[in-house]
Structure 1
Amino acid sequence: MSTYIENFKRFRPLLNELVSRDIKIKYRRSIMGVLWTLLNPLLMMIVLSIVFSNLFKFDIENFPLYLLSGQVIFNFYSDSTNNAMGAIIFNAPLIKKVYVPKYLFVVSRVVSSFINLMAAFTALLFVMVATRAELHWTALLSFIPLVLLVLFSLGVSLFLSAVVVKFRDIMHFYSVFITALMYLTPVIYPMSILPQWMKYVVLANPITNYLIMFRDTMLNNSLPGGMNLLIGGIEAILAMALGLIVFYKKQDDFILNL
């Protein structure tokens, strides 16, 4: 284990450069640059609030906050896994030339998405102040579901980046999967409108659990449920374990399929 820690410390400057490169490429030739990380969730919240606020106005007290909190969680998972999935393939020229711990390319994509997550979280706080919503002390515990979500997303990213090197069709399938997953996550709609059988389907989605905990701490002035924490922790650990095992077993074969 100490070998892996020392190896990570040795290549940490490279990780910083990869993260910086990912952010610069994303906002290259953009007039407002990284400011879009703050504006994107706000603009999407405004558009979706106009479309759906009347539909759910009796079920949700502050629909813009409800919507933006859902975007914070789901957009991070979608952005991090989608970007990290092609991390090995898109860095093939560098991987073929020099030795670099290959997991760094995946981690850099997740870290870049985490920076966007923090910007979206800032936008959420801004909207809470603008709408005069009460900011409860439980918001200090919002880092718990966020940390679990990051670990879960990193595990999924490691798994996807390893298997997509050989099976490229997964990249196309995953875009369809993410769209379906969005509708199976209560980002826009309240759980109360769902029939009982559909609630079980939505609750089986791991992202739903992290979203419920996040909304509890940020909006509902309540602590994360013990069962939610247990399930969320188990899901994060299983995702990380699966991702690390698959990535470790397949990384030596990457060069053959790039």
Structure 2
Amino acid sequence: MLRYCGSVWDCRWFWLSLVRADLRTRYRRSFLGLGWSLLHPIAMTIVLCTVFHGLFDVAVEEYAPYLLTGLCFWNALTAIAIGGCGCLYQAENYIRQHPAPLAIYPLRTVLGAGFHFLVALLVAVVLTWSLRGFDNVAALYSIVPALVILVVAGWSLAVLTGIANVYFPDTLHLVEVVLQLMFYATPIIYPPRLLADKGLGWLVSYNPLANLVQLLRAPILDGQPASAATYAIAVLATLAILGAATLALKKLERSLIFHM
């Protein structure tokens, strides 16, 4: 695995150029440019905060940062999962002509989504600071290991959805359905206590996505790193999906081109 990662690193100028090309193409001749990527989470935060903060009995200054942080995470996850489905077909010409590690193309998707995620997360941090302030700025450093976990998990997810879509063309539709279901099973727009009050707190405790988003929310909203239990579940889930992605690459990478 280390050798494979080394070969991916050796191709870094190639996949970095692909990411830059994707970003330039996306915002070419655009009036707002990068602002379009921020418009959706900000607009959703305004609308949902207006509607739900009273329903959930949460103050606006508490709910708005909570909601925006969750939407940043969820939009990135959606972009990675759905973008991963088409990442190999998008790079089919490169795959046929250049014997580079297949994992660089899902990585391309992850880095593109990650760029927009970081910009949106910065907005969430600024919003939190302006509405609530920070009691412990040092806790923000714990976002760094959280980002490492999220990148590994996202990269692995994009590998799996990309390979699955080659063999099963309906993967994209299945992923969209699963994401829709998981959106409501994960505390993105509602506080976790709502499920706990209904006796469904286990949906949050053992939901890997809930623990992944908590890695970001804890330092930003609570001023402290996420708990050891949260990190443990997030890391175990990441290792599981990483293992599945590694196995899929090992078994299918060389023969995948014949199915495209």
TM superposition score normalised by structure 2: 0.90
Task: Provide closer, same or farther for how the CA distance between residues 166 and 48 of structure 1 changes in structure 2, counting only shifts above 3 A.
Answer: same
Query: What is the alpha-carbon distance in structure 2 between the residues aligned to residue 47 and residue 136 of structure 1?
Result: 29
> Would you say the 8 A contact 1:67–1:188 is kept in 2?
yes
Counterparts of 1:1-258 in structure 2, within 5 Å, are 3-58=3-58, 62-134=62-134, 136-137=136-137, 138-194=139-195, 195-258=197-260
Any unmatched runs of 5+ in structure 2? none
> Would you say the 8 A contact 1:70–1:187 is kept in 2?
yes
Per-residue deviation, residues 63-98 of structure 1 (Å, max 9, x unmatched) = 101101111222221211211221112222232233
One-letter amino acid of the structure 2 residue matched with residue 106 of structure 1: P
> Would you say the 8 A contact 1:166–1:257 is kept in 2?
yes
Look up the SS of the partner of 2:161 in the other structure: helix
Query: What is the alpha-carbon distance in structure 2 between the residues aligned to residue 223 and residue 181 of structure 1?
Result: 25
Name which of structure 1's ranges 179-188 and 132-141 shifts more when overlaid on structure 2: 132-141
One-letter amino acid of the structure 1 residue matched with residue 141 of structure 2: L
Aligned-residue identity in percent: 23
One-letter amino acid of the structure 1 residue matched with residue 217 of structure 2: R
Task: Provide closer, same or farther for how the CA distance between residues 135 and 72 of structure 1 changes in structure 2, counting only shifts above 3 A.
Answer: farther
> Would you say the 8 A contact 1:74–1:207 is kept in 2?
no
Task: Provide closer, same or farther for how the CA distance between residues 36 and 104 of structure 1 changes in structure 2, counting only shifts above 3 A.
Answer: same
Alpha-carbon distance, 1:132 to partner:
4.3
Alpha-carbon distance, 1:35 to partner:
2.8
> Would you say the 8 A contact 1:45–1:68 is kept in 2?
yes
Any unmatched runs of 5+ in structure 1? none
Name which of structure 1's ranges 121-130 and 197-206 shifts more when overlaid on structure 2: 197-206
Question: Aligned-residue CA RMSD in angstroms?
Answer: 2.1
One-letter amino acid of the structure 2 residue matched with residue 167 of structure 1: F
Name which of structure 1's ranges 30-39 and 9-18 shifts more when overlaid on structure 2: 30-39
Task: Provide closer, same or farther for how the CA distance between residues 91 and 224 of structure 1 changes in structure 2, counting only shifts above 3 A.
Answer: same
Query: What is the alpha-carbon distance in structure 2 between the residues aligned to residue 46 and residue 2 of structure 1?
Result: 45
Aligned residues: 258
One-letter amino acid of the structure 2 residue matched with residue 51 of structure 1: V
Query: What is the alpha-carbon distance in structure 1 between the residues aligned to residue 238 and residue 158 of structure 2?
Result: 12
Look up the SS of the partner of 2:55 in the other structure: coil
Name which of structure 1's ranges 190-199 and 238-247 shifts more when overlaid on structure 2: 190-199
TM superposition score normalised by structure 1: 0.91
One-letter amino acid of the structure 2 residue matched with residue 70 of structure 1: G
Task: Provide closer, same or farther for how the CA distance between residues 12 and 213 of structure 1 changes in structure 2, counting only shifts above 3 A.
Answer: closer
Look up the SS of the partner of 2:70 in the other structure: helix
> Would you say the 8 A contact 1:81–1:157 is kept in 2?
yes
